[in-house]
Structure 1
């Protein structure tokens, strides 16, 4: 129940909004309603209680007069149309549609968009006993071929121009000493300071096939590889120069047993690159950006699709349909 002081405060607030004539009428009516019949004297404590009760009765009676004379004071004031409109959220259908900008990757809308990422794209055949080798021996040979793929085309240090140490370590010791004299012949490396990867994703697509052949009186497994490896690159520190560069490595390796252990011997390899310069021959890839100086070698022949896996071999510099 509200305290008497609270009632007084509320009452005074209401009365302050009434003009003088109305206040006089209300006080007169309140005084008449508060008079109690004269009775015998009562103890002081009881009279004090009676006076308090009379005061509350007067407040209640006055409040009743307020309702009689100015009922509008207790009626909530109408809310301003402007404020009311502001307090109600607009219908959802009127809200502006804010769409986050879609990130467009460097492979979007290209043939490489749906290629597998990295090693997932090197599809090695299932191992089986072949050419006198057990299934486990064939599997070990194919695992070594897969690691050679990774070191040749996906290793970041080799791609950025460092010595292809990871590739060298995977070669047979006898082949390793020969390869040191011909570095980068079977790996992809960008010429120093010409490129950086615009994304960690490298797209890979192609095939690996197995066959057998006779060689020096023994049967060997021939592993032929035919792949597309697509990089998103840019000039170092210049994101606005980002482009796709397609390489087409093809190679041959042989798997056989010699002196009780499995040998993996790379017999052929090489890759074309698009778009790249044709006038430099140092086993590095020199990308051709839109703002690059013209190539000293003029391309020839009809435009070729760099994404075509089975295109015929060509010498020199060919035109491209784009990447």
Structure 2
């Protein structure tokens, strides 16, 4: 037999004191009370009728006393035990298996998505809780926890006619821009190094240099021709995506261009959760992209009708090794420390969408204040 004390010996003294007080209250409540004058009169009359062998109409024999009292006693004991159990659980909810009250440390009280972003935020997101990301909860502790999931996070604005373009033509340009964003940043095959065929397919092959340079950067990446300026890619030999969700936050707007029929502006931040091999450690990489596409009048310029001109693409990345130009992002894990070159740029918040992403921000590699 074990020498250990029984489990109930670990119950705090405060709980036993509460149990004693509750027991005393219940005993007082159930103690016999002095009958009222009216009760004594009724009792006297019933005794006289009983002596005469008379019973009033509707009189029923009382139930078996032992059974009734037995049930009441059992109910009282069960009630007291239940009250004691509730008191113990209230003081230490972890005694109950699982997480019935959502009180587990780090549990997310609300994981519903945020409203769609319609304008630039006025401030960076507030500090999230300090939870550590896990394989089951890869976005724990991240402001992106409440962002949109994948393609559903890219919501197109309602199309309207612009200049000589019809509503349908504007809607087509918006859908093509979304296709570019999705295939470049959310397609699992692209993320693990495959060729972003759909993204390249919406761009005008007649636009000087752009498509040819993008294809070259994918085939032979280096510092000058870097596919990461437009495409998000991770080395599948190094990391794997955790789950099937990429968190997304941003907006798309459109207007008439200065020298074009239509200009579409897209500003989105993507948050990726990654791990290595059989490790349970999770790291997050945050990529913000600003791209602008145009529809140019084919009657005035030598362009392909219905294809987009890519006129701007800027990016900023949080948590990727600096100075590596192999065409892949390389997340840094806390267990291994920094890799690559030392950061030369400023420390910035990769979740801050209130600041403008200026052209040339990608020229220096800085430090992410959080991931």
Using the TM superposition, name which of 192-201 and 169-178 deviates more: 169-178
Distance (whole Å) between structure 2 residues aligned to residue 300 and residue 100 of structure 1? 47
Distance (whole Å) between structure 2 residues aligned to residue 263 and residue 170 of structure 1? 6
Q: Does 1:284 align with 2:325?
A: no
Q: Identify unmatched segments of 5+ residues in structure 2.
A: 1-72, 90-95, 109-136, 219-226
| Preserved CA contact (<8 Å) 2:242 2:274 | yes
Report the aligned-residue RMSD. Answer: 3.1
Shift of 1:180: 1.9
Aligned to 1:132: 164
Q: Does 1:236 align with 2:271?
A: no
Distance (whole Å) between structure 1 residues aligned to residue 322 and residue 162 of structure 2? 41
Query: TM-score normalized by structure 1?
Result: 0.65
SS at match of 1:119: helix
- Structure 1 segment 133-282 matched on structure 2, within 5 A: 133-174=165-206, 176-177=211-212, 179-183=214-218, 184=227, 185-215=229-259, 219-239=260-280, 241-258=281-298, 261-282=305-326
Shift of 1:160: 1.1
More strand by share: 1
Distance (whole Å) between structure 2 residues aligned to residue 281 and residue 125 of structure 1? 36
Q: Identify unmatched segments of 5+ residues in structure 1.
A: 1-83
Aligned to 1:100: 98
| Preserved CA contact (<8 Å) 2:288 2:315 | yes
| Preserved CA contact (<8 Å) 1:276 1:287 | yes
| Preserved CA contact (<8 Å) 1:195 1:233 | yes
Question: Does the C-alpha gap of structure 1 residues 304 and 194 become closer, same or farther in structure 2, counting only changes over 3 Å?
Answer: same
Query: TM-score normalized by structure 2?
Result: 0.57
SS at match of 1:140: helix
SS at match of 1:112: helix
Distance (whole Å) between structure 2 residues aligned to residue 292 and residue 211 of structure 1? 47
Question: Does the C-alpha gap of structure 1 residues 292 and 221 become closer, same or farther in structure 2, counting only changes over 3 Å?
Answer: farther
Moved over 4 A (4+): 101-104, 175-178
SS at match of 1:171: coil
- CA distances 1:116-145 after superposition (whole Å, capped 9, x unpaired): 111222232221111311001100111111
Aligned to 1:318: 366
Distance (whole Å) between structure 1 residues aligned to residue 166 and residue 332 of structure 2? 47
Distance (whole Å) between structure 2 residues aligned to residue 173 and residue 203 of structure 1? 31
Q: Does 1:116 align with 2:148?
A: yes
| Preserved CA contact (<8 Å) 1:133 1:257 | no
Distance (whole Å) between structure 2 residues aligned to residue 167 and residue 292 of structure 1? 34
Question: Does the C-alpha gap of structure 1 residues 109 and 292 become closer, same or farther in structure 2, counting only changes over 3 Å?
Answer: closer
Question: Does the C-alpha gap of structure 1 residues 206 and 245 become closer, same or farther in structure 2, counting only changes over 3 Å?
Answer: same
Q: How many residues align?
A: 241
Greater Rg over alpha carbons, structure: 1
- CA distances 1:146-167 after superposition (whole Å, capped 9, x unpaired): 1111101110011012222332
| Preserved CA contact (<8 Å) 2:202 2:308 | no
